[in-house]
Structure 1
Amino acid sequence: MTRDESRRRSAGRPVKRVLSQERIVTAALAVISSGGYGALTMSALARRLGVAPSALYNHVESKQEVLRWLQDYAMSSVDVSGFSSLPWDEALREWARSYRNVFARHTPLIPVIAVLQVSGAPRTLAMYETVAAGLERAGWPANQIVPAIVALESFIYGSAYDAGAPADIFDTGTLAADSPHFTAAVQQQSGRAEGRAADTAFEAGLDALVTGLGSRAGLRAESGAA
């Protein structure tokens, strides 16, 4: 084979696409962000990556595995560092704020993450382990820890959606006369920036939950924030 023939043959070979977990997760996020969870299929993901579905299956077993990777991607960004140094109630608040901020940026993932099993998601389990260990060290009964996490997560997911809600979502418009008390309450919020109003509501709900859950567990707030 001559040098020119070798060069032509090399130039004609397709470029091999290397599919890492990071590339697959990034592409899956793009598919979900543009079309919602229902748009995430292995075929759509392969198209986004520019590969054949068969090539994608060489790197990931199933859509369920992609979802676990997405879960781990999001949960690994949630800050749990407070459980090593802060009072239990302030650690919970810091965790909840971080959790909400992460999912306010990734709201299309909420319907996926909220019902996905944690098995096979090591970084997600590491996050929960840190929270559970921190609460246990603070004296929480073991049977109160998971209910507290679930209650807080339910609130956090809703608050993540609320962070991106339009400022006039409660504008009663032509029905103001039919709802005078609610309309008056809404007007008390007028002039607040959208993000600030959502943040105020989040902090009020978070204080109520942390205080109430701590009371059910037989503990008082340690930080004095509640």
Structure 2
Amino acid sequence: MEPAQRAVQERRRAGRPSQAVLSSARITKAALKLVSHSGYKGLTMAALAKSLNVAPSALYNHVHSKQDVLLLVEDHLMGRVDVSAFTDRPWVEAVSIWAHSYRNVFAAHLPLIPVIALLPVTNAPKTITMYEAVTNGFLAAGWPPSAIIDAIVALESFIYGSAYDANAPGNIFDTGTMAPAVPNFSAAVARRGLKSAETAGATARNDADAAFELGLAAMVAGLAATLT
């Protein structure tokens, strides 16, 4: 090989990246960032490719469609939900820990709730593993297999709604000039959170958190009652 040819080949070799420019983890991170800045509608393959500084064709070499990207996002988020308590904690406590973790994860990613809530779990290993752990916890607590998925879906419906509530403005129930016309509702709004503050000198809790605790306790107790 001539010296000039060898020099060109060495320059080409040196310019090649040591690893692939794209990866599932990098695509997922970019997709989450895009959604947080632009909402779900802002998550397009063209926008994602641009945010990754690659050509759309390069992106399509890793994911075939937006559906594939959403599966990566779903799996990433579900993989962050804590299911560890189902291995060694009582069922009521385990469900509470799982529900709190689940709510916290999705309260930070509201634009994705309407999408992921309807997204099949097919080809999402971390998501399926999460559900397996929860199912095992239900089975260990004596739940019949026929009732487990319905119970999980019922809890998820509440969790997703509470994730929205965690982001609601503090004055969401402000009746404004309508207050005189709705005195009971206005008084109830004004008294919200005061009961816990008056008990044992405690300070008032965040309204969304208080509502979540009340609703979760009621749901868990109601579900547990179906086993008796």
TM-score range, shorter chain: 0.7 to 0.9
Q: Which residue of 1 aligns with 2:40?
A: 37
- Deviation of 1:8 after TM superposition, in Å, equals 11
- Deviation of 1:10 after TM superposition, in Å, equals 4.9
Q: Which residue of 1 aligns with 2:125?
A: 122
Structure 1 residue ranges without an equivalent (≥5)? 220-226
Partners of 2:205 and 2:15 in 1: CA distance: 52
Q: 2:156 aligns with which of 145, 153, 156?
A: 153
Q: Percent identity?
A: 54
Partners of 2:10 and 2:149 in 1: CA distance: 63
- Deviation of 1:107 after TM superposition, in Å, equals 1.4
Partners of 2:175 and 2:204 in 1: CA distance: 17
SS in 1 for 2:63: coil
Structure 2 residue ranges without an equivalent (≥5)? 198-202
* Counterparts in 2 of 1:136 and 1:7: CA distance versus 1, 3 Å: closer
The answer to whether 1:141 aligns with 2:123 is no
The answer to whether 1:22 aligns with 2:25 is yes
- Deviation of 1:197 after TM superposition, in Å, equals 1.2
Partners of 1:11 and 1:145 in 2: CA distance: 56
- Contact 2:31/2:43 (<8 A) preserved: yes
Q: 1:89 aligns with which of 73, 89, 92?
A: 92
Q: What is the TM-score when the length of structure 2 is the normalising length?
A: 0.87
* Counterparts in 2 of 1:131 and 1:12: CA distance versus 1, 3 Å: closer
- Deviation of 1:190 after TM superposition, in Å, equals 6.6
Partners of 1:173 and 1:150 in 2: CA distance: 37
Partners of 2:136 and 2:40 in 1: CA distance: 33
Partners of 1:46 and 1:141 in 2: CA distance: 46
Q: Say how many residue pairs are matched.
A: 218
Query: Which has the higher relative contact order, 1 or 2, with Cα contacts under 8 A spaced 6 or more apart?
Result: 1
* Counterparts in 2 of 1:105 and 1:195: CA distance versus 1, 3 Å: farther
Partners of 2:67 and 2:58 in 1: CA distance: 17
Q: Which residue of 1 aligns with 2:72?
A: 69
Partners of 1:7 and 1:133 in 2: CA distance: 57
- Structure 1 vs Structure 2 CA RMSD: 2.6
* 1:145-192 deviation line (CA, Å, top 9, x unaligned): 111111110110111111121111111111111211110000002778
Q: 2:206 aligns with which of 196, 200, 210?
A: 196
- Contact 2:106/2:113 (<8 A) preserved: yes
